[in-house]
Structure formats: structure tokens, C-alpha cells
């Protein structure tokens, strides 16, 4: 016979259920936002029903990011990453070409992360991989080393991930949704980096 679940939860179990840190839940309890009592031994106990009532209902699909390549590009400019030395050696037409390729990659990444089904997401990521490979090929034609090409790609990775985290907060994604979004984005970035390298070495 299965034992009944306890009607009370400890601090650790309650915070894991909510996807928050124990310190945050402790603060909520101190502020009266969550009912709790303290045992004679000094341990907090939370009513299971109250905690489970705070758990966000699972959504069939997370809200769209409502982002654009313009917004991400603005975040990139705001971050002002240090320009690599090789960039100064390129003409305006070459720099414009690299900016255009970067913008295309951003648009495909956003569409990939927002894709409604796995088949569509797979096609978009494949397309982004082709663009990344073409970026590597173009860099090799300009005489850039493999290190230069990778460095160029990595310059927009950190601002992209930072802006994505900010969008997740503004869109009020729950912990599960935000974590999956960031994991998917990191995995996509890794795949595109490999594509850049393959494009450069195959040129």
C-alpha cells in the first residue's frame, strides 16, 4: 500500500518544486507571501497545497520571443565588443558583407528558437548551418585565418545569449521554459561554430 504524501514540505523540496532558490523562498515566507511555520528545531515547513498552487501550469508552448534581428544587433552594438585587428584591414564592402551574413544568421536563429514544430526547427537550423558555412568560406577567401573566423563568429555569440536571457525575463518565461531556451540556443551556436570552421577549412 502506497503511503500518503506528507501535507508539509521542507525548504529544499518546496524551492525545487517552484524552481527557485531556497533563499528566495525563505524571503517570500519572511515577507508573508507564502504560508510557512518553523518547527521547534528551527526548520521551515510549507503547506504542500500552497506550494503546488504556485507552480506555473505547464503551457503547451512557450510565448514567442517577439524579438528581431534589429533588436539583437542593437544589443550587440550596445555591448561594444572589442573589434579584432583583422577587421580594420577589410574594405567597407567586405565589412558590409560580413554584417549582412551576421544579420541573416541572427534572423534564422530567432526563427529556429520560435519554430512551432520540430520539422520546421530542423529546416531552419540546417539553413543557418549553411549560412554559417558560407561565412567561413567568405572569411577564408578574404585571407582570414581559422582563428580570425572563429573570433569573428564569437563576437556576436555573447551579446546574443545575453539579450536572449533578457528577453526570457521580459516575456516572463518560467524556469523550465527559460532553461530550455538557453540550452537550445547554446546547442545551436555550437553547431553553427562547427559549420563556420568547416566552411573555412573546406574553402
Q: Is 95 part of a structural domain of the chain?
A: yes
pLDDT at 12 over 70: yes
Number of domains in the chain: 2
Dist. CA 92–CA 43, nearest whole Å = 65
pLDDT at 72 over 80: no
pLDDT of residue 147: 92
35, 108: one domain: no
Cell numbers standing for residue 54: 504556485
- Beta-carbon contacts of 183 under 8 Å, excluding residues fewer than 6 positions away, are none
Q: Per residue in 114-172, pLDDT tens?
A: 888 889 999 999 999 999 999 999 999 888 899 988 888 888 788 888 888 888 888 88
Dist. CA 163–CA 168, nearest whole Å = 9
35, 75: one domain: no
48, 104: one domain: no
Asked if 107 and 69 count as a contact pair (C-beta separation under 8 A), the reply is yes
Backbone torsion region of residue 57, taken as left when φ is above 0, otherwise alpha when ψ lies between -120 and 50, otherwise beta: beta
pLDDT at 1 over 60: no
Q: Per residue in 15-64, pLDDT tens?
A: 888 878 888 889 888 888 889 999 998 899 999 988 888 776 666 677 77
103, 150: one domain: yes
Residues β-bridged to residue 46: 9
pLDDT of residue 195: 96
pLDDT of residue 2: 43
83, 170: one domain: yes
81, 116: one domain: yes
145, 184: one domain: yes
26, 117: one domain: no
Q: Is 62 part of a structural domain of the chain?
A: no
pLDDT of residue 177: 83
Residue 193: which pLDDT band, with cuts at 50, 70 and 90? very high
Q: Is 3 part of a structural domain of the chain?
A: no
Domain hosting residue 75, numbered range = 69-202
CATH number at residue 48: 1.10.1660.10
Residue 42 burial class via C-beta count within 10 angstroms: exposed 0-12, middle 13-18, buried 19 and up: exposed
33, 110: one domain: no
Q: Is 64 part of a structural domain of the chain?
A: no
Enter the pTM of the model: 0.66
Stated as kind and residue range, the H or E segment containing 45 is strand 44-47
99, 142: one domain: yes
Amino acid at each position: 500500500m502506497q503511503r500518503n504524501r506528507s501535507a508539509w514540505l521542507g525548504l529544499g523540496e518546496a524551492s525545487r518544486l517552484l524552481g527557485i532558490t531556497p533563499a528566495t523562498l525563505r524571503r517570500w515566507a519572511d515577507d508573508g507571501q507564502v504560508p510557512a511555520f518553523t518547527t521547534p528545531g528551527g526548520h521551515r515547513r510549507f503547506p504542500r497545497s500552497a506550494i503546488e498552487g504556485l507552480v506555473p501550469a505547464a503551457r503547451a508552448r512557450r510565448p514567442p520571443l517577439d524579438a528581431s534581428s534589429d533588436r539583437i544587433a542593437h544589443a550587440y552594438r550596445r555591448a561594444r565588443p572589442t573589434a579584432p585587428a583583422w577587421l580594420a584591414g577589410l574594405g567597407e564592402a567586405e565589412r558590409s558583407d560580413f554584417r549582412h551574413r551576421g544579420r541573416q544568421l541572427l534572423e534564422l536563429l530567432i526563427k529556429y528558437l520560435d519554430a512551432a514544430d520540430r520539422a520546421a526547427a530542423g529546416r531552419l537550423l540546417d539553413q543557418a548551418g549553411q549560412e554559417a558555412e558560407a561565412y567561413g568560406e567568405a572569411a577564408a577567401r578574404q585571407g582570414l585565418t581559422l582563428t580570425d573566423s572563429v573570433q569573428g563568429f564569437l563576437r556576436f555569440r555573447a551579446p546574443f545569449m545575453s539579450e536572449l536571457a533578457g528577453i526570457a525575463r521580459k516575456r516572463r518565461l518560467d524556469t523550465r521554459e527559460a532553461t530550455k531556451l538557453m540550452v537550445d540556443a547554446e546547442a545551436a551556436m555550437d553547431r553553427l561554430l562547427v559549420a563556420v570552421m568547416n566552411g573555412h577549412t573546406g574553402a
